[in-house]
Structure 1
Amino acid sequence: MSDSTPEERLAMLRFHRRVQLQQLAQTDEWIAIWEQRAAEHARRRPPPPDPDWALEIGKGALPVWVHTTECWNSFFMHAISREQAIEALTRGGVPPCILCRPERELGVLD
């Protein structure tokens, strides 16, 4: 290639570009196929169960209250496990919600 003229180099580079575009188009087609298969697979799976516990987050991303799902509001709350709820109530210093009273179901702070 070092002995080629500028016109020959341009021709080779344009050819190389066409090959790359074809490869990119093939890759995009494969991605579309696998995205469709993944979507079909996700539709066949049962949805995850609703969380039993939630941690309400306040200003500064600090936890405010622990809740049961009766108080669930996904805008302000994050799903947590039973163990995380107990940890937040007992060691984390997060108070229980005064409406749904998660400490009763969890058997802590009675």
Structure 2
Amino acid sequence: MVVQQATAALAQIDGWIAAEQRREAERRRGAEIRPPAPEWLVEVGLNKNNLVAVHTGDCWDPDKRARPVTRAEALDALTRLQAQACSKCRPDTALGVLE
């Protein structure tokens, strides 16, 4: 009886280990295929034509309507289009734009 219970417990533990190894492999695959974070983000308004703010790519504060842009587009948004610079990540400082 004890041998049977130990064998069942060992099989259960082996199942847990295999499931955890599968989850870890999936997590690694997901991290490998994830695209790199954008360097700059522009947050657009509700009408999609109004630029609200410029953020660095690693900013924690952009809205759901933020989209990735190039460095040139971020500079253009700050200088010519008069978009606000995020007060948390300060992309204007990172881009070298003085107000």
Q: 2:71 aligns with which of 77, 82, 103?
A: 82
TM-score normalised by structure 2 residue count: 0.57
CA contact (8 A) 1:54 1:72 kept: no
Greater RCO (Cα-Cα under 8 Å, separation 6 or more): 2
TM-superposed CA distance for 1:64, in Å, is 0.2
TM-superposed CA distance for 1:59, in Å, is 2.0
Gaps of 5+ in 2: 1-29
- The 5-angstrom pairing of residues 12-27 of structure 1 reads none
- Distance change in 2, residues 1:63/1:93 (3 Å): same
Q: Distance in 2 between matches of 1:97 and 1:74?
A: 11
CA RMSD, Structure 1 to Structure 2 (Å):
2.1
TM-superposed CA distance for 1:87, in Å, is 0.7
Alignment of 1:99 onto 2:88: yes
Q: 1:49 aligns with which of 26, 33, 36?
A: 36
- Distance change in 2, residues 1:95/1:83 (3 Å): same
The answer to which structure has the higher helix fraction is 1
Equivalenced residue count is: 67
> Quick check: which has more Rg, 1 or 2?
1
Letter aligned with residue 77 of structure 1: A
Q: Distance in 1 between matches of 2:63 and 2:37?
A: 11
Q: Distance in 2 between matches of 1:65 and 1:95?
A: 5
